Amino acid sequence: MNHLKLIIQREYLTKVKNKSFIIMTFLSPIIMVVLISVVVYLSQMNNDTIKNISILDETNTLKESIRDKKFVKYSFLEDLDLEAAKLLSEEKEDYGLLHIPQMATVSESAKQSKFYSESTPSLSVISDLEKLIEKKFTDIILLDKGYDLSEIKSSKVSVNLNQESFEGEKTSKLDNIVKLIFGGAAGYLLFMFIIIYGNMIMRSIIEEKTSRIIEVIISSVKPTQLMMGKILGTSLAGISQFLIWIILGGVLFTVMGSVFGLSSVPDSQEMINQTANISANSEIQNLFTAINHLPLTNLAIAFVFFFLGGYLLYSSLYAAIGAAVDNETDTQQFMLPILMPLILAVYVGFFTVIEDPHGTVSTVFSFIPFTSPVVMLMRIPFGVPIWQQIVSVLILIFSFMGSVWLGAKIYRVGILMYGKKPTYKELVKWIKY
């Protein structure tokens, strides 16, 4: 036990004192924040340019009902044919030209409308125009048929379906999104953690092998002890780094946000229009209730278990690989079988769980130990029976012990093997020694 403590301590200190580790710890959140800020800033810049759109409306219906928006300006062309209008619009360097032809019927005119532009127009511009034409022409047709428009308007009901579970808890659409974000973040965090620090463990074992100190060390401690010490020491360094990233990232984002004046809502005007009947207050309230609805304690406890279990499961495999090879280039052939289930887990998480969190695929993958940490963490916000979680954790713990045992076997033999690139067949032989 004393040895284990010493090894963990050394591994931790060498990791955190390492120059590149320190630089990475403090530089990556800065780089991330700067990058994201630049992207957001640039996309805002893009929004700021005013789009001029010319309209050639042969039916003369739109004129009084269209209004300029903040970044979109409409101008009407009159007494021109289509070709001349196109030429003129191009000359003016317009964003585009909307043409509504005069046809036999009103609905035919609407259907034959076209938008001409230099390059592919943005989706929001097109959908805005579509909505506008649809509304105006529907109104005209309704008027033609003798309906009273104000009657129709006043009889419209806008529904934002209130949801409630059978137990009587109120929920909203937002709930699902919040669940997704929490589950996804937990799963993805684990995925990243495994890849970054698994590799770190692997490299540090290869380093011990190439510097040949390994034989000195294992004449003092058991290989399994050394392996566990390395895994735990590196993990602690990793957790420290992660915490610094989160804290530093949070602080930086706040600072950057206020410097660049980033607002999370790009066009508040429209947002308010869309959600006119729901007050902004109730949205925020919904968000808080949605977060409150999450099984937070459950998620937190499960996160600890699945995080540790999943991470240790994979890192013992990384350790075994590190022990089996002489240098990093030889690791490639063994990396694929590790990365495959991991990537699969993330895909299943992001596609299947969202679609159907309690379907067969999601359920099965949340029991397979190599995918369960990621998939189960994504499922838990949607409410997973406790027995399922316990069974899954137990399976994970047993497979973790198995993989440590297996990893230790390969490790024990591998660290003393030099000079040749082992094959899978040889690895199996080592396990039998």
Partner 1 sequence: MNQLLSAKNISKSYGDFKALNDVSIEVEKGSIHGLLGPNGAGKTSFIRIINQIVMPDSGDIQFDGTKLNPNHIKDIGYLPEERGLYKSMKVGDQIMYLAQLKGLNKSDSKKRLKYWFEKLEIGNWWDKKIQELSKGQAQKIQFITTVLHEPKLLIFDEPFSGFDPVSANLIKDEILELRNKGATVIFSTHRMESVEELCDHITLINLSNKILDGKLTDVKRQFKSNTFEVGLQPKSEIDLKAVINEKYEVLPPSFKNLNDDLKLNIKLKASDDSNEMLAFVLKHAEVNHFVEVIPSVNDIFIKSVNSN
List interacting residues with partner 1 (CB under 8 A). 3, 6-7, 10, 14, 18, 207-208, 211-222, 416, 418, 429, 433
Single-letter amino acid code for the residue at 70: K
The residues near 331 (Cβ < 8 Å, ≥ 6 apart) are 202, 206, 321, 322, 325
The residue among 74 and 430 lying less far from partner 1, judged by its C-beta, is 430
**Shortest Å, Cβ 22 to partner 1:** 14
Spatial distance between the Cα atoms of 74 and 255, rounded to a whole number of angstroms: 38
**Shortest Å, Cβ 314 to partner 1:** 25
Single-letter amino acid code for the residue at 111: K
**Shortest Å, Cβ 18 to partner 1:** 8
**Shortest Å, Cβ 431 to partner 1:** 12
**Shortest Å, Cβ 424 to partner 1:** 15
The residue among 338 and 408 lying less far from partner 1, judged by its C-beta, is 408
The residue among 192 and 416 lying less far from partner 1, judged by its C-beta, is 416
The residue among 57 and 208 lying less far from partner 1, judged by its C-beta, is 208
The SS3 call for residue 159 is: coil
The residue among 311 and 430 lying less far from partner 1, judged by its C-beta, is 430
The residue among 395 and 431 lying less far from partner 1, judged by its C-beta, is 431
CA-closest candidate to residue 305, choices 216, 392, 246, 184: 392
**Shortest Å, Cβ 220 to partner 1:** 4
- Beta-bridged to residue 171, according to DSSP, are 163
DSSP state of 366: T
Beta strand 51-57 with 170-171 is unpaired
Query: Is the Cβ–Cβ distance between 114 and 85 less than 8 Å?
Result: no
Spatial distance between the Cα atoms of 302 and 294, rounded to a whole number of angstroms: 13
Single-letter amino acid code for the residue at 154: S
Spatial distance between the Cα atoms of 252 and 259, rounded to a whole number of angstroms: 10
